[in-house]
Amino acid sequence: MELFSKSHVQLITVNTKSPETVGNMKKSENEKPGLTNEEEVRQKKIGARLKRMYDEVVEEDIPDDFLSLLESIDNAKDEHNND
User: How confident is the prediction along the chain (83 residues), in pLDDT tens digits per residue?
Assistant: 444 444 444 444 444 455 555 555 554 545 556 889 999 999 999 999 999 999 999 999 999 999 999 999 999 998 888 87
Tell the burial category of 45 from Cβ atoms under 10 Å away from its Cβ (0-12, 13-18, 19+).
exposed
